[in-house]
Structure 1
Amino acid sequence: MSKIVEDLHQFQLYVRSLQGDEKGEAQVFCDRLFKAFGHAGYKEAGATLEFRVKKRGRGTSFADLMWKPRALIEMKKRGEKLNLHYRQAFEYWLNAVPNRPRYAVLCNFDEFWIYDFDRQLDEPVDKVSVHDIDHRYTALNFLLPQEKPPIFNNDREKVSRQAANQTADLFQSLIKRPGKPIDREVAQRFVLQLVVTMFAEDIDLIPSGTVTQIVRDCQEKGWSSYDLFKQLFAQMDSKKPASAGRFVGVPYFNGGLFATVEPVELTKYELELLGGDGTPDNTGIAGKNWSQVNPAIFGTIFQSSMDSEERHQHGRHFTSEADIQRIVGPTIVKPWEERIDTAKTLKHLVNLRRELSEFKVLDPSCGSGNFLYVAYREMARLDARIMIRLSEISQKEFLERAKRLCAISPRQFYGIDNDHFGVELTKVVLLLAKKLSFDEAVETLNAETNGFKGNLELAFSEDEVLPLDNLDTNIIEGDALFVDWPDTHAIIGNPPYQSKNKLQEELGPKYLNKVRERHPEVDGRADYCVYWIRLAHDHLGEGQRAGLVGTNTIKQNYSRESGLDHVLATGGTITEAVSSMIWPGAANLSVSIVNWVKGDAPGKRRLYIQEGNKLDAGWRHEDLDRIPSSLSFRIDVTKAKTIQANAKKGTNFQGQTHGHKGFLLKPAEARLLFNKDPKYQEVVKPFIVGDDMLGKKDAKPTRYVIDFSGKDLLEAQGYPDVFHRIQATVLPQRQKAAANELKKNQEALATNPKAKVNWHHRNFLNYWWRMSYVREDMVAAVSPLKRYIGCSRTTLRPVFEFISSEISPNDAIQVFPFDDDYSFGIMQSTPHWSWFINRCSTLTERFRYTSNTVWDSFPWPQAPTLVSVKEVAEAGRNLRKVRRELMTKHNLSFRELYRGLELPGEHPLKIATENLDVAVRKAYGMRKTADDLTFLFDLNQVIAAKEAASEPILGPGLPSYINDRDHFVSNDAILP
């Protein structure tokens, strides 16, 4: 490190000799910077100067230096105000895909502003002077040849998490006191009053140290915290200022939060949590610098921390500002920026400011208010943008308009949530936004206009932000699906998402029936968040916009039909979207983000996708003329039609659902039974799951299942060892589940005798000795065959394989009752995989084979010659042979083998797959240059039309004209 310090010192001396010319000296500055950090130069490190970044729509911008995936550096001339170029850096970073750099750096030859947009969006995580870089270089550790974690001095996320967690500890202590716990609602209000007070201290609304001094007096003098906080909060709600005493200087806050004051007497432990113990290392919650706490994330972290017993779960549903901006940016900021930047006249700008001050935003699932906070802050920045434009046209008009420094008010923001505390927290967050936005406006306009050389005195005045607005009618507690939404101009948010099955389990049939009766236009099988998409669109006026997060199922099946299909069919235009991305903090959850306008919008529409199934996966985007409801980059195949020859019963199945672990046996247990009496082989079968097939070296099943399908109760008792096992383990659970189901159904029917209720647990109880779903039609279809084709129902990679019919498939396996090599070849081919991934549903980033969308619409070759059928069969047999040889030689599973295909370079399986694809395309009559997805969609339309006209078509399997099936049926398969 001593050499780096010396090199950085030499770098400092060199920079002093520069004029700070952005065009002439930026490149040599960057090169010397890389050398100072131990590289031979920027080029040798792998960085690129003047890196091309594709702009939204048409055109290209050039980032001064790009070093993926670590950093981008954007240079400005010496003396330039870096805060004015934040948006440029963010746009460069946003569009620098794939392998987007982690950090963005703005530099004006004298100062580095370091951004980590994934952590905090509105300000740098650190500012480092070139003069100090020799001892502050750790903030730029990411520039070292061997990257180290940087050490930042302005990490607001870290400070926010610490403050939120400690405040949550105080709340937990209050409500969990032994003997006399504080009422939850009283504790919530008291803690929120403290939060506002601590913020107020550090943003100069009340005298600094007010809370800390109260705590010290309680600790050292034995005074009552109940009395002191009661007096403080009462003064904050009093229009008459204190003329003397300890609360002189405390202004009138109002805002509704202090209208009810119910303080508590804090324990010794709680006083230490709040005010520390008097040592420098423990300053307590009040000793935090609350001006560095970010309201955009504090509320969500705090709320999730309050009810979490495990610290690692804190912030589990935290939404980063970068992700919030994926909605606030396209829905609010960009349309307004375009209007402001194209305004030509003074009158136009003045009218725009008035219109912006009346622009209303709704979050109908506001949670802790983080979306509304970011929207407030960005609208305040838009207001400052208008003021800067005004200053360029007329100093007089600017000074006149500056009497109202920030035209944005908390009363422009509306929220709905069914969580009482979330509603109250949202009000607090918006009240803080008012002061923080005002302070930022002061800084920005002074910096940009230089205060018109002293003519503009933009000093803080309490009259601008106090008293606080009462938001009781803006932010309301209620179920957004059953309350009237206020009229606003934009709708944003992250509504709750839950699948149909989870909804039934979590909310019960009574609530679901109520929802479906109120909103019959939404398919009952759709995801919960689809109701918000539908309501938002129907609530918009012409030209108004919405942006919402939803599970990635919103682009699939019933959810798409009830949501995005409706949006596009009734005049909506998707302007920007994320097809799929991993949602931070939530395990196994992938989401889609959609921004749309009711009406048309000029220009291209940008569609993003996160490639891979990890948070740090790369990104790509395309600018399209139209974004379809499938949020797909390729041809929109959501309108493919059902082919009745495919959809008829018996062509594909879901495997068996055992429903209770009592049905499962280990191989050793099964062998003991078979040795005791071979008859047990009649009802105990090898049971393969998706992970066996994909993840095991030999792909064999790792467990057995007790299968009494087709047998009544008396017949099942003829196998006493396994019957008694089911009776002891499964029966009690099914009795309990049926009783709970009956109770919930009775509640629903008491409200509405015609309510739709489910009786599947009752049905399971009626046949308690059988698996939940034995799929008897599937068993009948595969039993005459020696093998059948199976694939894992959820998968990242295209793997189809023959499975011996002696093996029972779990419901994680999709079953196709075909034993011929031609059918296998068609299904294993790239054209079928393309259809699969563009028509299927998904589970996280794994594709899920769904019969009603994938299989039922997949068009098979309609006029394959005998020669081409043989070629497909032969290519399929060869591909399986190559797979077996590679897996045996290298001791690989299917999953490991197919991962190798994703790497560059030659691979025997790549060659075998290409040969199969050539044969399959020939069977289809598909030209070499044809796009397989477009070809299949067109063929789907032709086949569906022929069926409608009662014309003959070829369905799945070997063509009907082939009589010698044995030639196409080999014998390899996964064996028990």
Structure 2
Amino acid sequence: MNPVEIEEAVSNLALEPFDRVEFPFQFLRAFGNKDTAIARLKAGNTNQSDVPGAVLQRGNIHIAACAPGAVDDTLKALRESPKTASQKVKFILATDGEAFQAEDMNGGGTVACSYAEFPDHFGFFLPLAGITTVEQIRESSFDIKATGRLNKLYVELLKDNPDWASRREDMNHFMARLIFCFFAEDTDIFLGEGLFSKTIEQMSARDSSDTHLVMAEIFRAMDTKPADREAAGIKRYANQFPYVNGQLFSGSTECPRFSKIARSYLLHIGSLNWQKINPDIFGSMIQAVADDEERGALGMHYTSVPNILKVLNPLFLDDLRAKLEEAGDNPRKLLNLRQRMAKIRVFDPACGSGNFLVIAYKEMRAIEAEINKRRGEPDRRSDIPLTNFRGIELRDFPAEIARLALIIAEYQCDVLYRGQKEALAEFLPLDSQNWITCGNALRLDWLSICPPTGTAVRVQADDLFSTPLDQAEIDFENEGGETYICGNPPYLGSTGQNRTQKEEIRDIANGRSNSPGFLDYIAGWLMKAADFIKIVDGKAAFVCTNSICQGIMVPILWPIILSDKVRLAFAYQSFKWKNLASNNAGVIVVIVGLSTDAVSPVLFETSDGDVHTRRVVDNINPYLTAGENVVVEKSRIPMSCVSTMTRGNMPYDAGNFLLSSDELAALELSDDERSKFIRKIIGSDDFINGKHRYAIWIEDQHLQEALGISDFAQRIEMVKKFRLSSSDKGANALARRAHQMKTLQIGNNATIIVPAVSSERRPFLPVGYLDSNTALTNLAFALFDAPLWNMALIASRLHLVWIATVCGKLKTDFRYSNTLGWNTFPVPSLTDQNKVDLTRCAEDILLAREAHFPATIADLYDSEAMPDDLRAAHDRNDEVLERIYIGRRFRNDTERLEKLFELYTKMTAKGGRGKAA
């Protein structure tokens, strides 16, 4: 269950008659526990509670519904229960149907409220549903509640108005108007508490037949100036609404028809307290209402708030706060800072529903309020114009919501810092200027939206709240001001792009790359941002998938971005941009900040999971480590003195050459035939999980004998037909030797195997050593008959951090490459003694594995269950190798990478054995 579904279930539970016996089970069911789990609890098959009448769920909650007036005593009993500690309970909860109390046993606070109010605290209990929560959701559960109700209304209206399904733009515009009305009636923008909802309830028929007409008349009034209302014939009940305009209510006032259910939903939404709306993530929540793809992910945007600040703080907010601290109470310095802030533009060219812009605006208003307070001007009107918070969004509804969220944020800031009276006096009518552009950011000229200087700019843009306009004049109060680009552009890999998107990337690269087709879609925003800040001397920072700093993307993208003028000003190394979806790992991202300033870059290094430590460095390279701007390119041969690595054998056989044990037995081959025509064969998964497969292995000199075996002859014929039917000419040519795989290679003595993909959870790469009778598929890499010390290199922590950085990942798993990871791996010159020592280390690793036979590689290299002797063997291997590199152990992976890039730079400067970067 997602948070929206949980909120609804909890709210429904609070409305039901209180049942002391059933409440604990109903509560757990509301947080996603399945009927089977509830049945086990009821049957007493899990850990029994030692508090009378209580239910205990191990690792989650100890909950009791008690007699009237006994909540305090019951909560104390739950707190002091030995079972609460021994069963690692997260929460304790007691209620008598009147009072409700709960505690987070991990120090996360308490809840004490009436029973009817406990749904308002549902966010407190989200860990029960496997959702890792953050503080914001505990304080902003209203947003989830409002979104869930709006979603119900939206779905119901589309069901009742099928013709509006093809008019989504009109439907979304209608929803934006509704949201404004709900907010306005609870914040005194509309004079009279609940004016909008009460007018709909009183003036429309209970059978809902004219609800749409009453609402349309209210919308018409808000688009008509008071002096014109009599002539326009505005009805009396609508005349009490203020003139809003701002083009939010201009154009058609048509509304969808309401069923009785839809009208009921509408009035229920109006009964919520919309003063609590949080515009930080309000936009994302409301966007999810209208987006079919996002509706299934309702309520999953909250953790974006602290992550967005990871972008905005080092981009410019930290500097503003530092200047505020430096100014102290000096009136002149404070005035200079306020004047500077009034000219700052924040530009999000992938703004969605405006989260980055809203948070930037609120943070700047907080700094400005402190300035005004220190200068003795607490009631001063803000000098920060909304029009300096600009965005581009491809879809119309998120663009509308972005503007509406900013309007709401401005009003809330005015109330907070200046007071309700002053805020209301200046709020209406809304400003009609449009500062969110609806269009394709990769096709639009960003300089037309954020020019270097100027006070009035004419841009090509659509008016978001009425019919499209050819041009709109937009005031820009930023003469001599700063421009900061930020955002979270769409994630789309090169293989997921359509033809139009690939053309967009190619046009932006504009001959600056020979391989733009390999670039992720997000690269378009990075290239345009780099080009932009060269002209305006601005700064830019984006949340990006970490693929842009790994693998083949680096040598294609970063030479375009980095130049003598543009550099990486700050960066966050890889972390998970988590959402609130249950069991959702989140996408792996980095944050990169670009600048034309010469200040020392700041690197936020991953030190423990998603924890970052701040370090000032001389330079940040494209791999987001400290060091020169080196890029690692593929090399056909090893650049160090190591053995050659090749990919295993590609069958290209339509499944005819590979056999399971049962399929092999069914062939009924003689011992001589098995010896001559069968080889063991494994790929990455086989090696890691201890699986066994076999391959038909026919060498040319034995072909005639093989054809005499009927099953072999049939399989060879099927392979031939398969290859001839391919549109690939290379496959057609392979049909001439249909008795063999595409490649047919095996070690004479032994083979070192390296899986092509390996889990990120393993502390070392699971490299292996195979006998001469075992072949590899193309899903693994091989060093045939290589000295064993090569295995020691591959098994090292040094090599793991190298390939994790330069090869990239498949989702979160390590993705190996011989040309990019092995051939480029910097290895110092090794003495004969070094090779002897490393050979012994590799042998010790193999012996430690053998001691745990028949445990698989997956078993042995589980990070939480790795045998001590095997871990010790790897530690000895790392110590021997690292002393060869620097005479001691490396302190951390950051130091390892910096040394490897230093060696790589020297290696390529000398020409190496491969292609220099």
- Aligned in 2, Cα 1:316/1:723: closer, same or farther, shift over 3 Å? farther
Cα deviations by residue, 1:379-407 (Å, 9 ceiling, x for unpaired): 2212212211212xxxxxx27xx352x23
Is 2:572 aligned against 1:578?
yes
Whether 1:233 aligns to 2:219 is: yes
Alignment equivalent of 1:877, drawn from 843, 848, 862: 843
Equivalent runs, 1:710-789 vs 2, <5 Å: 776=742, 779-780=744-745, 782=746, 784=748, 786-789=750-753
Superposition pairs of residues 744-893 of structure 1, within 5 angstroms:
776=742, 779-780=744-745, 782=746, 784=748, 786-796=750-760, 797-798=763-764, 799-804=766-771, 809-865=776-832, 867-886=833-852, 888=853, 892-893=855-856
CA drift of 1:855 comes to 1.6
Aligned partner (choices 839, 856, 860) of residue 897 of structure 1: 860
Please give the alpha-carbon distance, in whole angstroms, between the structure 1 residues aligned to 2:290 and 2:668. 56
- Partner Cα distance (1:939, 1:366) in 2: 41
Task: Figure out how many residues of one structure are paired with residues of the other and give that number.
Answer: 756
In structure 2, the residue matched to 1:220 is: 206
Candidates 664, 670, 682, aligned match of 2:663: 670
Does the C-alpha gap of structure 1 residues 38 and 472 become closer, same or farther in structure 2, counting only changes over 3 Å?
same
From 171, 175, 188, give the equivalent of 2:154: 171
In 2, distance between residues paired with 1:342 and 1:354? 16
The alpha-carbon deviation at position 945 of structure 1 amounts to 5.1
Native 8 Å contact 2:346 2:484 kept in 1: yes
CA distance in structure 2 between the aligned counterparts of 1:804 and 1:577, rounded to whole angstroms: 46
Q: Secondary structure at the match of 1:228?
A: helix
- The residue number in structure 2 matching 1:591 is 589
Residue pairs, 1:186-197, within 5 angstroms: 186-197=170-181
Q: In the alignment, is the contact (CA less than 8 A) between 2:796 and 2:877 conserved in 1? A: yes
Match of 1:515 among 505, 508, 525: 505
Alignment partner, residue 260 of structure 1: 251
Among 611, 620, 623, the residue aligned to 1:628: 620
The residue type paired with residue 590 of structure 2 is S
| 1:885 maps to amino acid | A
Q: Select which of 539, 542, 546 maps to 2:540.
A: 546
Structure 1 residue 882, shift from structure 2 partner: 0.8
Q: Relative to 1, partners in 2 of residues 1:370 and 1:845: Cα closer, same or farther, differing over 3 Å?
A: same
Name which of 336, 339, 349 aligns with 2:334.
Answer: 349
- Which string of whole-angstrom CA distances, capped at 9 and with x for unpartnered residues, describes residues 585-611 of structure 1? 365620001234321236x72414274
3-state SS of 2:618 partner: coil
Q: Retained in 2: the 8 A contact 1:199–1:291?
A: yes
Closer, same or farther: CA 298–805 of 1 in aligned 2, 3 Å:
farther
1:407 maps onto 2:407 in alignment: no
Runs of 5+ in structure 2 lacking a partner?
1-48, 52-75, 92-104, 452-482
Match for residue 555 of structure 1 among 549, 555, 573: 549
Corresponding residue of 2:465? none
Looking at structure 1, the residues matched to 624 and 132 of structure 2 have their Cα atoms a distance apart, in angstroms, of 37
Within a 5 Å distance, the mapping from 1:368-767 to structure 2 comes to 368-391=353-376, 398=377, 402-404=379-381, 406-442=382-418, 459-472=421-434, 474-485=436-447, 486-487=449-450, 489-503=483-497, 507-508=498-499, 510-520=500-510, 521=512, 523-524=515-516, 525-540=518-533, 544-561=538-555, 563=557, 567-585=561-579, 589-601=587-599, 605-609=602-606, 611-612=608-609, 618-630=610-622, 632=624, 638-639=630-631, 645-646=637-638, 651-655=644-648, 667=660, 670-671=663-664, 674-675=667-668, 688-694=682-688, 696=689, 699-701=690-692
The residue type equivalent to 1:787 in the other structure is T
Segments of structure 1 that go 5 or more residues without pairing to the other structure are 4-34, 46-68, 71-100, 106-113, 115-125, 277-282, 392-397, 444-457, 613-617, 736-760, 956-976
Offset of 1:364 from its aligned partner? 0.5
- 1:653 is displaced (CA, Å) by 3.3
The CA deviation at 1:498 is 1.9
For 1:709 and 1:218, the matched residues in 2 are separated by 86
Q: What does 1:129-148 align with in structure 2 at a 5 Å threshold?
A: none
Report the 3-state secondary structure (helix = DSSP H, G, I; strand = E; otherwise coil) of the residue aligned with 2:575.
strand
Partners of 1:411 and 1:469 within 8 A in 2:
no
Does residue 908 of the first structure (1) align with residue 875 of the second (2)? no
CA distance in 2 between partners of 1:177 and 1:386 (Å): 52
Q: Which amino acid aligns with 1:247?
A: A
Q: 1:94-133: per-residue Cα shift (whole Å, max 9, x none)?
A: xxxxxxx99888xxxxxxxx9xxxxxxxxxxx9x89xx9x
- 1:318 is displaced (CA, Å) by 6.5
Judged with a 3 Å threshold, the aligned counterparts in structure 2 of structure 1 residues 419 and 514 are, in CA distance, closer, same or farther, namely: same
1:424 is matched by which residue type in structure 2? Answer: E
Match of 1:286 among 261, 270, 285: 270
CA displacement at 1:792 relative to structure 2: 4.0
Match of 2:189 among 188, 191, 205: 205
Q: Distance in 2 between matches of 1:498 and 1:783?
A: 40
Equivalent residue of 2:485, what SS?
Answer: strand
TM-score, normalised to structure 1, is: 0.66
CA displacement at 1:907 relative to structure 2: 1.9
Q: How many Å separate the matches in 1 of 2:255 and 2:122?
A: 43
Q: CA deviation at 1:583?
A: 1.9
How much is the aligned-residue C-alpha RMSD, in angstroms?
A: 5.0
User: CA contact under 8 A between 2:755 and 2:767: conserved in structure 1?
Assistant: yes
Structure 1 residues 303, 766: CA separation in 2 closer, same or farther (over 3 Å shift)?
farther
Q: Shift in Å at residue 432 of structure 1?
A: 1.8
Distance in 1 of aligned mates of 2:134 and 2:841: 57
% identity of equivalent residues: 20
Q: What's the secondary structure of 2:755's corresponding residue?
A: strand
Aligned to 1:247, the other structure's residue is in SS state: helix
Between the aligned partners of 1:151 and 1:869, the Cα distance in structure 2 is 51
Contact 2:221–2:239 at 8 Å: present in 1 too? no
CA distance in 2: counterparts of 1:853 and 1:181, whole angstroms: 53
User: How far does residue 801 in structure 1 lie from its aligned partner after superposition?
Assistant: 0.5
Partner SS, residue 220 of structure 1:
coil
Determine helix, strand or coil for the equivalent of 1:368: coil
Q: Secondary structure at the match of 1:328?
A: helix
Partner Cα separation in structure 2 for residue 764 and residue 162 of structure 1: 59
Matched to 1:359, the amino acid is I
Q: Deviation at 1:336?
A: 1.5
Q: Cα distance, 1:674 vs. partner?
A: 2.6
Any conservation in 2 of the 1:555–1:629 contact (CA below 8 Å)? no
Q: Residue in 2 aligned with 1:455?
A: none
Q: Which moved more, 1:187-196 or 1:844-853?
A: 844-853
Counterpart code for 2:312: V
Query: After the TM superposition, which of the residue ranges 557-566 and 420-429 deviates more from structure 2?
Result: 557-566
1:253 partner amino acid = V
Give the 3-state SS of the residue equivalent to 2:270 in structure 1: coil
**For 1:322, what is the secondary structure of its paired residue?**
helix
Distance 2:207 2:160 in 1: 24
Tell me the residue number matched to 1:274. 265
Equivalent residues of 1:171, 1:188 under 8 A apart: no
Contact 1:166 1:273 in 2 (8 A): no
Residue identity opposite 2:345 in structure 1:
K
Query: What is the CA-CA distance between 1:619 and the residue it aligns to?
Result: 1.1
Equivalent residue for 1:306?
290
- 8 Å contact from structure 2 (residues 678, 694) kept in 1: yes
Structure 1 position 885, deviation (Å) = 1.1
For 2:131 and 2:542, the matched residues in 1 are separated by: 36
TM-score for the superposition, normalised by structure 2: 0.70
Distance of 2:337 and 2:152 partners within structure 1: 46
Superposed CA deviations along residues 514-534 of structure 1, whole A, max 9, x for unmatched, are 531342335512322122122
Query: How far off is 1:185 after superposition?
Result: 1.9
